[in-house]
Amino acid sequence: MDLSLIDWSRAQFALTAIFHWVFVPLTLGLGVIMCIFETIYYRTGDEKWKRLAKFWIKLFGINFAIGVATGIILEFEFGTNWSNYSYFVGDIFGAPLAIEGIIAFFLEATFIAVLFFGWNKVSKGFHLASTWITVIGATLSAWWILVANAWMQFPAGMDFNPDTARNEMTDFLAVALSPVAVNKFFHTVLSAWMLGAAFVIGVSSWFLLKKREHEFAVNSIKVAAIVGVVGIALTFWTGHSSAQKVAKYQPMKLAAMEALYQGKNGTELIGIGVVNPAKEAYNDSVKPVVAKIAFPKMLSWLATGDLDAFVPGIQDIIEGGYETENGTALSFDQKQEKGKIAQNALKVYRAAKADSIQNEKEACDSLRDARRVEYVQTMAVAREEIDANIGNLGYGYLNTPEETIPNVGLTFYAFHFMVIFGGYFLLFFIFAWFLNRKGVNGVWAKNKWLQLLGLISIPLAYLTSQAGWIVAEVGRQPWTIQDVLPVGASISKIPTSSVQITFFVFLTVFTVLLIAEVGIMLKSIQKGPENE
Is the per-residue pLDDT at 531 higher than 80? no
Residues ≥6 apart with Cβ < 8 Å to 113: none
Percent of the chain with pLDDT over 70: 96
Question: For 278-326, how does the pLDDT look when each residue is reduced to its tens digit (9 = 90+)?
Answer: 988 898 889 999 888 999 999 999 998 899 999 999 999 999 999 888 8
Question: For 33-48, how does the pLDDT look when each residue is reduced to its tens digit (9 = 90+)?
Answer: 999 999 999 999 999 9
Backbone angles phi, psi at 233, to 5 degrees: -65, -45
**H-type helices in 154-213, by residue range?**
172-176, 179-209
- Rounded CA-CA distance 109/128 in Å is 16
3-state secondary structure of 289: strand
- The helix (H) or strand (E) run that includes residue 148 is helix 124-153
Residues ≥6 apart with Cβ < 8 Å to 85: 78, 93, 480, 481, 485, 490, 491
pLDDT tier at 3, thresholds 50, 70, 90 = low
Question: For 482-503, how does the pLDDT look when each residue is reduced to its tens digit (9 = 90+)?
Answer: 999 999 899 998 899 999 999 9
Q: Where are the domains of the chain?
A: 3-253+430-460+488-527
Backbone angles phi, psi at 427, to 5 degrees: -65, -40
Is the per-residue pLDDT at 118 higher than 80? yes
Average pLDDT on 335-352 reads 92
Question: For 61-89, how does the pLDDT look when each residue is reduced to its tens digit (9 = 90+)?
Answer: 888 878 777 777 888 888 888 999 989 98
The confidence score (pLDDT) of residue 214 equals 87
For residue 369, CA distances in Å to 47, 48, 363 come to 85, 85, 9
Select from 263, 209, 30 the least CA-distant residue to 131.
30
Question: For 363-400, how does the pLDDT look when each residue is reduced to its tens digit (9 = 90+)?
Answer: 555 555 666 677 778 888 989 999 999 999 999 999 99
pLDDT tier at 361, thresholds 50, 70, 90 = low
Average pLDDT taken over every residue of the chain? 89
The neighbour count for residue 499, using CB atoms within 10 Å, is 24
